[in-house]
């Protein structure tokens, strides 16, 4: 199941390019300021997309935008002149979004609607956290479950009416760790047990399975959209493992372990964006609701994530829980 360095064979440069002055392709990505999301945005920008980066820190997102613009120009300086005639840079914008706060998620969608972009061509639900201790958000959900799934669900449901009805795509960045939900967990379980190093992964698995289930059901409810989920690869140099590497004294050992692990089984931050980019840009025909892994390879997701009854239960559970918090009309 693991993807080795040498088996990454997908090249984003082969994907279509757009001229934003002729074809305005609008992409909205959560968590595009660091790690895998940073390179996803870089490639979309290089392919002519107008990208809205939804993040909780304006300074971090704007800092990333500057770096992406600089890197894009550097890369373009290496492109031969003939190719440059068909390659155009897009636009990069900041949208405020804090997934830890449902009211803020709702507000973010209202702000986006007020921008008068007629359609969203591409939505990428990339933001996520993992492997952290148990905590509840102010909204009362387990912190990973809200960040990785519930808030992304609310964000997407609210913006669905804006999705391009003919070619719109939605991509959920899941994880190979979703396989750890080996049987159907109740969405009421919060796994608030010790040791954290084990139970944190069950909490993470549940959130990432829910995301895949969401994409599968969405692809059936809205066949006019293409909905996919991806495992980006084992990407050890993003901020994802920061909780462990920042632990005083022993953090260095975790860092060393992650580097070693990444060397054998992992891929770079940029390679981590390839699965998403293939789903986002490729003109190949994929079965709607499919799951892709590192390097953009088609794969099978877990039995639980493919079980439509379980997926429906997750959907109903989520809408009911959100309704209790005052977020109605989510169908
Ligand atoms: N790294 C891996 O090996 C791996 C493997 C499988 C799946 N994934 C998934 O890949 C995705 C990207 O992770 P990454 O490795 O690139 O990690 P990362 O560098 O930590 O990026 C995570 C992104 O999510 C954003 N985010 C986190 N909490 C947020 C919140 N409350 N509101 C808004 N944005 C928030 C972060 O913003 P801030 O900068 O503001 O925190 C950041 O932009 C995640 O969904 C992760 O679960 C990663």
Q: Which one of the listed residues 34, 175, 208, 291 is annotated catalytic? A: 208
Q: Which one of the listed residues 34, 151, 174, 229 is annotated catalytic? A: 174
* Among the listed residues 75, 83, 6, 22, the one whose alpha carbon sits nearest the alpha carbon of residue 45: 75
Do residues 170 and 222 lie in contact, with contact meaning Cβ atoms separated by under 8 Å?
A: no
Instruction: Determine if ligand 1 sits within 6 Å of the CB of residue 296.
Output: no
110 located within any domain: yes
Nearest-atom number in ligand 1 for the CA of 127 is 24
Q: Which residues face 136 on adjacent strands?
A: 142
208 belongs to the catalytic site: yes
204 belongs to the catalytic site: yes
pLDDT in tens, the chain (331 residues): 334 444 545 577 889 999 999 999 999 999 999 999 999 999 999 999 999 999 999 999 999 999 999 999 999 999 999 999 999 999 999 999 999 999 999 999 999 999 999 999 999 999 999 989 999 999 999 999 999 999 999 999 999 999 999 999 999 999 999 999 999 999 999 999 999 889 999 999 999 999 999 999 999 999 999 999 999 999 999 999 999 999 999 999 999 999 999 999 999 999 999 999 999 999 999 999 999 999 999 999 999 999 999 999 999 999 999 999 999 999 7
Cα 244 to ligand 1 centroid, rounded to whole Å: 15
Q: Which one of the listed residues 18, 52, 172, 204 is annotated catalytic? A: 204
Instruction: Determine if ligand 1 sits within 6 Å of the CB of residue 150.
Output: no
**Residue 10 confidence (pLDDT):** 57
174 belongs to the catalytic site: yes
Instruction: Determine if ligand 1 sits within 6 Å of the CB of residue 126.
Output: yes
Each residue of 273-283: b (16+ CB within 10 Å) or e? bbbbbbbbbbe
4 located within any domain: no
Instruction: Determine if ligand 1 sits within 6 Å of the CB of residue 97.
Output: yes
**What is the span of the domain harbouring residue 176?**
12-324
Mean pLDDT (the chain) is 94
Cα 31 to ligand 1 centroid, rounded to whole Å: 6
**Residue 5 confidence (pLDDT):** 42
Instruction: Determine if ligand 1 sits within 6 Å of the CB of residue 104.
Output: no
161 located within any domain: yes
93 located within any domain: yes
Do residues 93 and 50 lie in contact, with contact meaning Cβ atoms separated by under 8 Å?
A: yes
* Beta pairing, strands 291-293 & 297-299: antiparallel
Per-residue three-class SS string for the chain: CCCCHHHCCCCHHHCCCCCCCCCCCEEEEECCCCHHHHHHHHHHHHCCCEEEEEECCHHHHHHHHHHHHHHHHHHHCCCCHHHHCCCCCCEEEEEECCCCCHHHHHHHHHHHHHCCCCCECEEEECCCCCCCCCCECCCCCEHHHHHHHHHHHHHHHHHHHHECCCCCEEEEECCHHHHHCCCCCCCCCCCCCCCHHHHHHHHHHHHHHHHHHHHHHHHHHCCCCEEEEECCCCCCCCCCCHHHHCCCCCHHHHHHHHHHHHHHHCCCCCHHHHHHHHHHHCCCCCCCCCEEEHHHEEECCCHHHHCHHHHHHHHHHHHHHHHHCCCCCCC
Mutate to test the pocket of ligand 1, among 5, 31, 59, 147 (most ligand atoms within 8 A of CB): 31
- What CATH number is attached to the domain comprising 107? 3.40.50.720
Instruction: Determine if ligand 1 sits within 6 Å of the CB of residue 239.
Output: yes
Look at the chain and report how many structural domains it folds into.
1
**Residue 331 confidence (pLDDT):** 76
Q: What is the pLDDT of residues 186-225, one digit of tens each?
A: 999 999 999 988 999 999 999 999 999 999 999 999 999 9
92 located within any domain: yes
1 located within any domain: no
What's the full length of the chain, in residues?
331
Instruction: Determine if ligand 1 sits within 6 Å of the CB of residue 31.
Output: yes
Mutate to test the pocket of ligand 1, among 42, 126, 128, 294 (most ligand atoms within 8 A of CB): 128
| Chain centroid to CA 91 | 20
7 located within any domain: no
Tokens of 183: 């049987």
Cα 242 to ligand 1 centroid, rounded to whole Å: 11
Cα 239 to ligand 1 centroid, rounded to whole Å: 7
Q: What is the pLDDT of residues 216-270, one digit of tens each?
A: 999 999 999 999 999 999 999 999 999 999 999 999 999 999 999 999 999 999 9
Distance CA 174, CA 290 (A): 12
134 located within any domain: yes
């Amino acid at each position: 199941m693991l993807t080795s360095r040498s088996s990454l064979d997908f090249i984003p440069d082969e994907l279509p390019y757009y001229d934003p002055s002729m074809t305005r392709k609008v992409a909205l990505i959560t968590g595009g300021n660091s790690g895998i999301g940073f390179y996803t945005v870089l490639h979309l920008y290089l392919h002519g997309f107008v990208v809205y980066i939804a993040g909780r820190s304006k300074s971090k997102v704007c800092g990333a935008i500057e770096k992406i613009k600089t890197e894009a120009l550097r890369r373009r300086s290496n492109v031969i002149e003939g190719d440059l005639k068909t390659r155009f840079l897009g636009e990069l914008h900041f949208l405020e979004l804090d997934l830890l706060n449902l009211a803020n998620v709702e507000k973010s969608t209202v702000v986006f609607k007020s921008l008068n972009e007629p359609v969203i061509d591409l939505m990428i639900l990339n933001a996520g956290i993992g492997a952290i201790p148990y905590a509840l958000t102010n909204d009362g959900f387990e912190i990973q479950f809200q960040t990785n799934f519930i808030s992304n669900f609310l964000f997407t449901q609210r913006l669905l009416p804006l999705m391009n009805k003919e070619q719109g795509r939605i991509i959920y960045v899941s994880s190979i760790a979703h396989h750890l939900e080996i049987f159907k967990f109740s969405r009421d379980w919060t796994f608030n047990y010790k040791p954290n190093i084990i139970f944190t992964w069950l909490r993470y698995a549940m959130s990432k399975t829910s995301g895949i289930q969401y994409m599968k059901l969405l692809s059936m409810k809205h066949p006019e959209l293409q909905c996919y989920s991806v495992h980006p690869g084992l990407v050890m140099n993003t901020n994802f493992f920061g909780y462990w590497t920042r632990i005083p004294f022993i953090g260095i050992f975790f860092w060393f372990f992650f580097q070693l692990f990444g060397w054998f089984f992992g891929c770079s931050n940029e390679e981590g964006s390839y699965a998403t980019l293939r789903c986002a840009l490729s003109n190949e025909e994929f079965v709607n609701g499919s799951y892709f892994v590192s390097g953009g390879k088609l794969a099978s997701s877990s039995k639980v994530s493919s079980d439509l009854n379980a997926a429906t239960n997750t959907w109903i559970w989520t809408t009911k829980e959100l309704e209790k918090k005052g977020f109605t009309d989510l169908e």
